[in-house]
Structure 1
Amino acid sequence: MSVYIQNISTVVPEHSYDQAFLRNRMKEYIGDKEITQRIIHRIYSKSGINKRHTVIPDFNANGDPRFFFQEDGTLNVPTTGDRNKLYVQKAKQLFVKTARQTITENPSVNREDITHVITVSCTGFFAPEPGFEIIQKLGLPTSTQRFHLGFMGCFAAFPAMKMAKAFCESQPDAKVLIVCLELCSIHLQPSEVTDNLISASVFADGAAGVLISKNKPKSTASFELTQFTTSIAQESEKDMAWTIGDTGFDMILSTYVPDIIEANLKQSIQPLFANYQLTADDINHWALHPGGRAILDKVQKSFGLEEAQISPSRKVLADYGNMSSATILFVLKDLLNRPASKKQEAVLAMAFGPGLTIESGLLQKIQSS
C-alpha cells in the first residue's frame, strides 16, 4: 500500500538575526580572550548560514523582555526552569499555529479527518504533551490518537514518518498529522569550549507540519514514502549528545561529527540501495539534514554529487540554520515546491543525530496528474 506526504508547512518565530550580527554579539559577550574571539569569528563566518530565527527578543540592544542580555550590558544565564518556562509559553503557541496552518493548506483534509497526531521536540517538555494542546485548540476529535517523540534530536522526524506510514498501512482511512518543533536558542550557553561554540553557531528555532495518508494528491506534487533504514556509528555517542544541566540543556556537537558521518555514510544507506537495486547515480535529489556546512560538504564529496542535487539543503542552512528535528522537513518542502524534470524522481533523505544515528529514507517525488 502506497503512503504519501500530502503537504508540508513551515513556521518560524518572528525574531531573526543575521549570522554576522550574532557572531559579533558572541565575540562581545563570550570571547574575553583574543584566541576565543578568533575561533568565534571563524566558526560563524564559515558556517554557511546567513540568518537564524529565535523566540528570544533581546539579542538586539533594545530587545524586551530581557532573557539573555540585560539592560546594564551584562550577560544573564537563565536556569533550566526559566528556560523551560519560556519553552512552554512559546512552544504551545507555535505547535498550535503550525498544526492549524498544515491542515488549512491542504484543501482535501478537514480537521475531523485527522486520526493521529504525532508531535516531536527535544528542546523542552510539558504535560499534557503538545498533541493534547493541538487537539484542544483546533477542536479535533477527542478520539484522535496522539503520540510524542522527545529527546531524539535532529533525526526525530524520521521515526515520526515511520510511525505515520505504519498507521496508514494498518488503517486505510488514517490521516496523520506530524508537527516537529524545536526552540534550540533558549539553551545558549556562555561557554568558551569549542564544541559549545559550534552548537551556538548553528542551532535555531522553527517548526514544521506534515500530513500523511494513503491518498495520492491529484493537484499538487507529493512524496511517496518508500522505505526507511537506521544505522548507528560505533563509539560515537559522545560526539553528538546532550543532557539536562542546571542552566539549560548542555549540547555537544563535536568537530569530529562530519568525519564520523562520512566514514559511515555508504554502509548506512546500503540496505535501501540493495532492496531496490539502486546506486547513488539513480538518486535525483539528496534531501540532507543541514546539521552544518561541513556535513553537507562531506556527503557531497563522498557521493560525487552535483551542487543542484543538494541545493535545498544548502538553502535551508543559509536561511534558517539547524532547527534540529524540523530542519529536514524544511528541506523536503523546498524540494517539493521546485519544478520537476520528470513525472517521478527518486529522493534520498537523510538526517543525523545523537548516537551518532544516521536515519535515511527513500522517497519518490511524484508530480500531480
Structure 2
Amino acid sequence: MSKIVSIATGVPLYKHKQEDICNFADTIYCTNATDSRKMKFLYGHSGITTRYSVIPDYSSAACCRKFYEKTDDLEPFPDLEKRMECYAENAGVLSVDTIKKCLNEKILPAEITHLITVSCTGLSAPGLDLEIMEAMNLNNNIFRTSVNVMGCYAAIHGLKIADVICKNDKTANVVVVCTELCTLHFQKESSIDNITSTLLFADGCAAVLVQHSSSAQKGFEIKNFYSEVEFKGKKDMSWKLSSKGFLMTLSGYVP
C-alpha cells in the first residue's frame, strides 16, 4: 500500500472578491437591468467569497487592465497564443512554490524519485514537468509523466499512478502536482456555459508527497480506488481548444 505523507496548496498573487468578479462579468455579459439582477443573484448565492487568479483585471478598473484590452468589449480579445504565454509564465512558478511547501523538510528535492504533473488549462513542450525539474534542480534521471486534459478527475488519476509506483518500490518518493489556471480562459460570449464557468472557477495548485506505507512518515493511507464511466453524460462537461482559448461546456446536470 501507499500513503500521502504531505499535502500543500498554493494560489497566485491576485485575490479577487466575488462581488468584484461579478461586476466584471456584469459589464461583459449583461445588456439590461434584468440580466444584471440575475447575475448578482447567482454570484450572491454561489457560496464563494474570494477567488485567486494570475490575472489582475477581474477587480481592476478598465483603464488598469494588464491582460485584457481596456476597451468596453475587450477587443481585440486575447487569442489562444496569448493565454498559453500567460500559462507558461505562471504555472511553473506556482507549481514549484507549492511543491516546496509540500516537501516541508519531509524530504529534500534531490530525493524526489518520481514527478507527476497534472493540468488541463495549459499545454506546451517542453512541458511543466521539465520546467519544475530545472527550477528545483531535480535529478535529471527521475521518472516523470504528465496527466493532461482529464479535467476535475485528473488529480485522482495522478494519485493512482503514484499508488502503483509506491506499491512496487518501497523507496519511491512520488510528488504529484496539480496546477490549473482556469481564469485564463474567460470567454465573453453571453452563454450559460461561459457565465457558469466564470462564476465558479479560479486558479490554484495542490501538491502531495506519496510514499510506500512502510515509510516512517505519518500519513493518510491509500487503500483503494474505484470509478465508473457513464457515457451518456459525456456531453454535460467538456473542454475544447479553440483559437480564442479553451471552451467549456458545463451542463446543469453536473452535480
Bucket of the pairwise TM-score, normalised by the shorter protein: over 0.9
Where relative contact order (Cα < 8 A, 6+ residues apart) is larger, the structure is 2
Q: Which amino acid aligns with 2:140?
A: T
Deviation, structure 1 residue 90: 0.9
Q: Kindly tell me the number of residue pairs found equivalent between the two proteins.
A: 253
Q: What is the SS of the residue equivalent to 1:241?
A: strand
Q: Is the 8 Å Cα contact of residues 8 and 98 (structure 2) preserved in structure 1?
A: yes
Q: What is the SS of the residue equivalent to 2:231?
A: coil
Q: Gaps (5+ residues) in structure 2? A: none
Q: Which residue of 2 aligns with 1:96?
A: 96
Q: What is the SS of the residue equivalent to 1:52?
A: strand
Q: Which residue of 2 aligns with 1:42?
A: 41
Deviation, structure 1 residue 195: 2.2
Rounded to whole Å, the distance in 2 between the matches of 1:81 and 1:69 is 15
Deviation, structure 1 residue 122: 0.2
Rounded to whole Å, the distance in 2 between the matches of 1:216 and 1:65 is 52
Rounded to whole Å, the distance in 2 between the matches of 1:49 and 1:177 is 29
Rounded to whole Å, the distance in 1 between the matches of 2:225 and 2:242 is 34
Aligned partner (choices 106, 114, 139) of residue 108 of structure 1: 106
Deviation, structure 1 residue 65: 5.6
Q: Per the alignment, do residues 249 and 6 of structure 1 end up closer, same or farther by CA in structure 2, a change over 3 Å counting?
A: same
Residues 1:211 and 2:196 aligned together: no
Q: Which residue of 2 aligns with 1:201?
A: 199
Deviation, structure 1 residue 202: 0.2
Rounded to whole Å, the distance in 2 between the matches of 1:134 and 1:29 is 36
Q: Is the 8 Å Cα contact of residues 114 and 142 (structure 2) preserved in structure 1?
A: yes
Rounded to whole Å, the distance in 2 between the matches of 1:142 and 1:63 is 45
Between 77-86 and 176-185, the greater mean CA deviation after superposition:
77-86
Q: Which amino acid aligns with 2:46?
A: S
Deviation, structure 1 residue 73: 4.4
Deviation, structure 1 residue 36: 2.9
TM-score by length of 2: 0.93
Q: Gaps (5+ residues) in structure 1? A: 259-369
Q: What is the SS of the residue equivalent to 2:227?
A: strand
Rounded to whole Å, the distance in 2 between the matches of 1:6 and 1:119 is 18
Q: Is the 8 Å Cα contact of residues 195 and 253 (structure 1) preserved in structure 2?
A: yes
Q: Which amino acid aligns with 2:228?
A: S
Q: Per the alignment, do residues 22 and 65 of structure 1 end up closer, same or farther by CA in structure 2, a change over 3 Å counting?
A: closer
Q: Which residue of 1 aligns with 2:128?
A: 130
Deviation, structure 1 residue 74: 4.3
Deviation, structure 1 residue 178: 0.7
Q: What is the SS of the residue equivalent to 1:178?
A: strand
Deviation, structure 1 residue 57: 1.2
Identity %: 34
Map of 1:39-188 to 2, 5 A cutoff?
Answer: 39-59=38-58, 60-61=60-61, 66-70=66-70, 72-76=71-75, 77-103=77-103, 105=104, 107-188=105-186
Computed over aligned residues only, the root mean square deviation of the Cα atoms, in angstroms, reads: 1.8
Q: Is the 8 Å Cα contact of residues 57 and 63 (structure 1) preserved in structure 2?
A: no
Q: Which amino acid aligns with 1:254?
A: S
Q: What is the SS of the residue equivalent to 2:189?
A: coil
Deviation, structure 1 residue 193: 1.0
Q: Which residue of 2 aligns with 1:271?
A: none
Q: Which amino acid aligns with 1:253?
A: L
